[in-house]
């Protein structure tokens, strides 16, 4: 008889977004007085940049001709040189040297963050920020590294609280050593972005203890403040302890197109083995690469015109963020994020619980947000709003919230 992976039965079962969906549907069925505005889910809404569309159109035509047709990609790590070299050069512009065989192109940062656990032993102690992007937690739970789920927490994970008191950046753990450390900056959900000094503390810790930092910089393109690093490899010593995940999803509207990349330096070794080589072996076995058409679209993002076009879209979202932040601040809320990230993290008024405030905004303002408690225990007392919506609708949502507060 086949037996299942029992770890799956321990999962609390996609609570957050299904529960939001349930509450929104129930409210919609009561004929709300105004159309709903959704500032909840973290998906982009602006179309692909014209240069990306044009590059993909050309690539589709190549695929339709015998002379230019392409099958499996046989270049390094299932990615075409044209894309890996463009990625390498973009790092060079930051002053970071990344070799082209340290770049692994994939269909998503979610897949890479989730799959990276394959190359690590099950006995590693995992540390996650709290609140957190749920993928890091659930994938470790599925693998059996999280222990049991008791009272909203996994028994074997180290939770690193990120609160207003520590500027939403985790302090080093006391007690048990963290072997695998997930850091996301700019952060989903808090919108906070780490400084070089903050990251250096963790890089030093990881190098001292032989830990590995899994650095998710999916929102790197939203950084507006000078001095905030765009890559963890801008921090000295990171090549010996860090893996970096990047994505075209939020950067260039690829959430439905699918393309991302992961950097594993060849200097990064544990148990005498190169993590770059292990990941190459893993990807070579379980993955056959990203479609040629999509890789051509991703390449176009790095052209001067591509950069200009995606920056325009990012500025559009960041302007929404500003509108939300300003409007909620004017309404008397304490608001974080929204400067180097498309997320606004707002304190609920009068110590209200996050689901309670979510319900109030839904019922009285017809605005859908995300309750902070869904991202972990330290998210209680906050809600997340996203800047990925339509500018006009975002303004109206903020106006409605102001009226009811
Ligand atoms: C959106 C997001 C990603 C990107 O995931 P893709 O699979 O590349 O679309 C990665 N990390 C975080 C924290 C995100 O919010």
Ligand 1 center to 219 CA (angstroms): 8
377 SS3 class: helix
Q: What is the pLDDT along the chain (405 residues), one digit of tens a residue?
A: 999 999 999 998 767 888 999 999 999 999 899 999 999 978 999 999 999 999 999 999 999 999 999 999 988 888 999 999 999 999 999 999 999 999 999 999 999 999 999 999 999 999 999 999 999 999 999 999 999 999 989 999 999 999 999 999 999 999 999 999 999 999 999 999 999 999 999 999 999 999 999 999 999 999 999 999 999 999 999 999 999 999 999 999 999 999 999 999 999 999 999 999 999 999 999 999 999 999 999 999 999 999 999 999 999 999 999 999 999 999 999 999 999 999 999 999 998 999 999 999 999 999 999 999 999 999 999 999 999 999 999 999 999 999 999
pTM of the model: 0.97
Of 162, 247, 252, best ligand 1 pocket probe by most atoms within 8 Å of the beta carbon: 247
- Check pocket membership of 362 for ligand 1, CB cut-off 6 A: no
Q: Ligand 1: which residue has its CA nearest to atom 12?
A: 218
pLDDT score recorded for residue 77: 81
Q: List CB contacts of 326: < 8 A, sequence separation 6 or more.
A: none
- Check pocket membership of 114 for ligand 1, CB cut-off 6 A: no
Distances in Å between the Cα of 46 and the Cα atoms of 38, 52, 175, 187, 379 are: 15, 13, 46, 21, 28
- Check pocket membership of 265 for ligand 1, CB cut-off 6 A: no
371 SS3 class: strand
DSSP H helix total and E strand total for the chain: 13, 17
pLDDT digits (tens, 9 = 90+) for 323-382: 999 999 999 999 999 999 999 999 999 989 999 999 999 999 999 999 999 999 999 999
- Check pocket membership of 320 for ligand 1, CB cut-off 6 A: no
């Amino acid at each position: 008889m086949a037996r299942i992976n029992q770890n799956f039965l321990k999962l609390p079962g996609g609570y957050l977004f299904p529960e939001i969906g349930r509450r929104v549907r129930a409210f919609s069925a009561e004929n709300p007085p105004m159309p709903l505005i959704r500032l909840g889910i973290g998906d982009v809404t602006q179309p692909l940049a014209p240069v990306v569309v044009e590059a993909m159109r050309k690539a589709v035509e190549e695929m339709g001709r015998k002379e230019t047709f392409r099958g499996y990609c046989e270049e390094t790590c299932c990615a075409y040189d044209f894309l890996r070299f463009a990625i390498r050069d973009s790092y060079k512009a930051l002053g970071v040297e990344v070799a082209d065989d340290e770049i692994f192109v994939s269909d998503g940062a979610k897949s890479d963050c989730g799959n990276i656990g394959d190359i690590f032993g099950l006995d590693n102690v995992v540390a996650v920020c709290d609140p957190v992007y749920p993928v890091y937690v659930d994938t470790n739970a599925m693998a059996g590294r999280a222990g049991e789920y008791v009272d909203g927490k996994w028994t074997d994970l180290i939770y690193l609280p990120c609160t207003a008191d520590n500027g939403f950046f985790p302090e080093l753990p006391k007690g048990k050593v963290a072997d695998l450390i997930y850091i996301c900056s700019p952060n989903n959900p808090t919108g906070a972005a780490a400084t070089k000094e903050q990251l250096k503390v963790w890089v030093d810790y990881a190098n001292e203890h032989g830990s590995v930092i899994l650095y998710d910089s999916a929102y790197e393109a939203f950084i507006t403040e000078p001095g905030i690093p765009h890559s963890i490899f801008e921090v000295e010593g990171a090549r010996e302890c860090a893996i970096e995940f990047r994505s075209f999803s939020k950067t260039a509207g690829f959430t439905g197109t699918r393309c991302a990349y992961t950097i594993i330096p060849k200097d990064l070794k544990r148990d005498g083995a190169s993590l770059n080589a292990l990941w190459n072996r893993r990807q070579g076995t379980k993955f056959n690469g990203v479609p040629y058409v999509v890789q051509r679209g991703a390449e176009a993002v790095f052209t001067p015109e591509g950069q200009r076009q995606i920056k325009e879209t990012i500025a559009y979202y960041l302007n929404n963020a500003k509108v939300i932040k300003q409007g909620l601040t004017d309404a008397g809320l304490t608001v974080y994020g929204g400067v180097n990230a498309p997320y606004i993290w707002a304190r609920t008024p009068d110590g209200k619980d996050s689901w309670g405030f979510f319900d109030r905004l839904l019922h009285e303002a017809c605005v859908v947000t995300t309750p902070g408690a869904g991202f972990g225990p330290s998210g209680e007392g906050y809600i997340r709003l996203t800047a990925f919506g339509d500018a006009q609708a975002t303004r109206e949502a903020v106006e409605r919230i102001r009226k009811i507060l």
